[in-house]
């Protein structure tokens, strides 16, 4: 896991960090490192084009939460899969959502402000309907097996989480 670039605080209350992953397993390892730090109630918003590794990162998150009922696949048709580990995980995929306004009727917002860790693929499709305070993970393709993973922490809770993550690397 190579840490690249330096941290920068570009908006007040926001910090970010960029990592490079060179394999699917390395992307899972980044997710696992985040998962180990979660205490319940966090929102992890995943963004990035098709096939950039969002699900792989969530597989790692699950591993870090001690979830053993794998496999973790994209919950594309049912929108949400629930897993029980050290903390419960709701794995959401909004790829097929047609309009952000449809989000409330999917029952996904109920997981927020609860002990559930909520990891949402295609979170950008929710527009402004998700809380601004979150960890946003943006994945981008930089070659066949190379992915850029940008992690942005918004709000004090998530900044503390990101600081702890950086210390572990």
Ligand X SMILES: Nc1ncnc2c1ncn2[C@@H]1O[C@H](COP(=O)(O)OP(=O)(O)OP(=O)(O)O)[C@@H](O)[C@H]1O
Select from 75, 121, 137, 158 the one that contacts ligand X (CB under 6 A).
121
x/- string (CB under 6 A) for ligand X, residues 78-117?
Answer: ----------------------------------------
3-state secondary structure 38-59: CCCCCEEEEECCCCCCHHHHHH
**What does 11 interact with, of Mg ion, ligand X, none (CB < 5 to 8 A by kind)?**
none
Nearer to ligand X, 17 or 159 (CB): 17
Q: Is 155 in the site for ligand X (CB under 6 A)?
A: no
Find out whether 133 and 158 touch, Cβ atoms under 8 Å.
yes
Half-sphere exposure of 20 (CA within 13 A, CB side): 11
- Give the span between the Cα atoms of 53 and 47, in whole angstroms: 10
Structure tokens at 85: 């580990």
Q: Which residues bind ligand X (CB under 6 A)?
A: 21-24, 26-27, 48, 50-56, 74, 121, 145, 147
């Amino acid at each position: 896991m190579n840490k690249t670039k330096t941290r920068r605080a570009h908006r007040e209350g926001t910090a970010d960090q960029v990592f490079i992953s060179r394999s699917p397993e390395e992307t899972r390892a980044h997710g696992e490192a985040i998962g180990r730090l979660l205490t319940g109630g966090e929102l992890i918003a995943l963004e990035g084009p098709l096939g950039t590794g969002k699900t792989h990162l969530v597989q790692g998150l699950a591993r870090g939460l001690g979830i053993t009922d794998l496999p973790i696949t994209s919950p594309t048709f049912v929108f949400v899969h629930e897993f029980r580990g050290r903390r419960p995980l709701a794995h959401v995929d909004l790829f097929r959502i047609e309009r952000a306004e449809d989000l409330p009727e999917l029952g996904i917002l109920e997981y927020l402000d609860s002990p559930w860790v909520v990891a949402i693929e295609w979170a950008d499709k929710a527009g402004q309907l998700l809380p601004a305070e979150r960890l946003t993970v943006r994945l981008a393709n930089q070659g066949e097996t190379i992915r850029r993973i940008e992690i942005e922490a918004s709000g004090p809770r998530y900044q503390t989480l990101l600081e702890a993550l950086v210390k572990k690397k």
